[in-house]
Amino acid sequence: MSTPYGPDEIAALQEKAKRHLWLHFTRMSSYAESDVPVIVRGEGAYVYDQHGKRYLDGLAGLFVSQIGHGRTEVAEAAARQASELAYFPLWSYAHPQAIALADRLANLAPGDLNRVFFTSSGSEAVESAWKLAKQYFKTTGEPARYKVLSRSIAYHGTSMGALTITGLPGIKEPFEPLPPGGVRVPNTNFYRAPAFVADDITAFGVWAADEIERAILREGPESVAAVFLEPCQNSGGCFPPPPGYFSRVRDICDRYGVLLVSDEVICAFGRLGYYFGSERYGYQPDIITFAKGVTSGYAPLGGMLVSDRLMEPFVGGQSTEHHHAGGPVQARADSMAAGSAAPTFLHGVTFAGHPVSCAVAMANLDVFEKENLLGNVRSNEGAFRSALEKLTDLPIVGDVRGDGYFYGIELVKDKSTRLTFDDHESERLLRGFLSHALFDAGLICRADDRGDPVIQLSPPLICTQEHFDEIEQILRSVLTEAWRKI
């Protein structure tokens, strides 16, 4: 255990963190009596804190670090790009890295998803997809379509539009009223399926998909713009789609002219053993939103991949779009002045498609190819599942579910009845014990009770049997202890 941080520096980090830093989604009062965890470096599947203590990064940071930590070739790609062209906007201009990455992603993406609109984050990607859907329908003569369907307990981001799409009432309530148009449909948690389909996963999938149709009909099909679905829903603890679910949803969307947006902020870039989660489950989205794993976190980047069909109304009048020496304001004025010319998508953010982030994404995808990371996930996912399924002998483990390198473990109070913990128990179990105990035991994962209490796992794609065994052993000892404390 070596650390560059001496006792004084460690104390100073704590003091300044507590005084000045605001952690996201974090109850800051919980650090009044305890230390803020400070991670100082990473290598492969492990990260180290300021004391030099090692942790297995079982969540890939936050579903991000696909290739693992400490890859100097990716860091060097960032440094090279920052020296050559640190920044230029994608507002009216392009730069070689954004062009190269857009081309590469279009080639990787399924079907006719050929156009990339970059953002700097997942929330911005989701926000952009909703805005595109709205403007697309306004442009193509269906201006009343603005509503968005999404699933209960699903997380789609925190900006106001994305939060409207997010299906977690608890994190929305402080910000109400949110933009109108968010509509909830059921998720695909088979462990908690309604009784009439609880014994038949295919029937459950039909019911869950048909609930989307019923919601469209209830809202009025002429008012619905898009359905946002993750390939495998994260929040709630990994809900893979039942067999046939997505093909039925695709048919429903086609029947009512509703766009299918596959929110792959987590599920893209190898998490499920494919570049895109929609490939794994065999459906064709109209838009894919992505972020996180596209750079493995070596720089921030997000975006949406859009089908040719959706882009078409925006390219018809390309002559007005060619070059705008006056920048975006001029471009917009030109487009409006052109009258009948194709409209401009009136949306953008300064750091979207940042040259350094695009260079990093290219280097990240080079690592994917060189090390066959998709192959690694596909050949080892069975071993990962088996390691986690060993835990089902514990009384507290109700369900182990997921695909690829993406799993949720649902914790229950009574396995035979699937009884969950009440709010107070859940608070005591997850916040009061598990989060700290897992961290202290050297495993970074997530204990989450935004739906039923779950532990979420999403290790780097480089992980193999030794990491799965380590995860299983730590979970086994901490969950055994948790059961004793209940």
Ligand X SMILES: Cc1ncc(COP(=O)(O)O)c(C=O)c1O
Contacting residues toward ligand X, per CB under 6 A: 121-123, 126, 155-157, 230, 234, 263, 265-266, 291, 302
Rounded to a whole number of angstroms, the minimum distance from the CB of residue 266 to ligand X is 5
Beta bridge mates, 419? 414
Rounded to a whole number of angstroms, the minimum distance from the CB of residue 122 to ligand X is 2
Nearer to ligand X among residue 26 and residue 480 (C-beta): 26
Enclosing H/E stretch for 42: strand 39-43
For residue 206, give the nearest of 243, 173, 165, 161 by alpha carbon: 243
Could you count the other beta carbons within 10 Å of the beta carbon of residue 159? 16
Nearer to ligand X among residue 161 and residue 343 (C-beta): 161
Rounded to a whole number of angstroms, the minimum distance from the CB of residue 363 to ligand X is 20
Nearer to ligand X among residue 294 and residue 311 (C-beta): 294
- How far, in Å, CA of 318 to CA of 104, rounded? 23
Rounded to a whole number of angstroms, the minimum distance from the CB of residue 199 to ligand X is 30
Nearer to ligand X among residue 266 and residue 288 (C-beta): 266
Residues 6+ apart with CB under 8 A from 237: 189, 399, 401, 408, 409, 410, 448, 451, 452, 454, 455, 456
- How far, in Å, CA of 440 to CA of 478, rounded? 10
Token readout for 63 is 């579903």
Nearer to ligand X among residue 156 and residue 413 (C-beta): 156
Enumerate the H helices of 297-434 as residue ranges: 308-315, 327-337, 355-370, 373-389, 423-426
- How far, in Å, CA of 60 to CA of 47, rounded? 10
- How far, in Å, CA of 237 to CA of 144, rounded? 35
Nearer to ligand X among residue 128 and residue 234 (C-beta): 234
Enclosing H/E stretch for 82: helix 72-84
Rounded to a whole number of angstroms, the minimum distance from the CB of residue 15 to ligand X is 28
- The residue sitting closest to ligand X, measured at its beta carbon, is 122
Token readout for 50 is 């300021």
Strands 443-444 and 406-411 turn out to be unpaired
Rounded to a whole number of angstroms, the minimum distance from the CB of residue 22 to ligand X is 16
Token readout for 399 is 């369900």
Nearer to ligand X among residue 228 and residue 421 (C-beta): 228
Contact 224, 149 (CB under 8 A): yes
Beta bridge mates, 397? 411
Nearer to ligand X among residue 122 and residue 237 (C-beta): 122
Rounded to a whole number of angstroms, the minimum distance from the CB of residue 63 to ligand X is 6
Rounded to a whole number of angstroms, the minimum distance from the CB of residue 233 to ligand X is 8
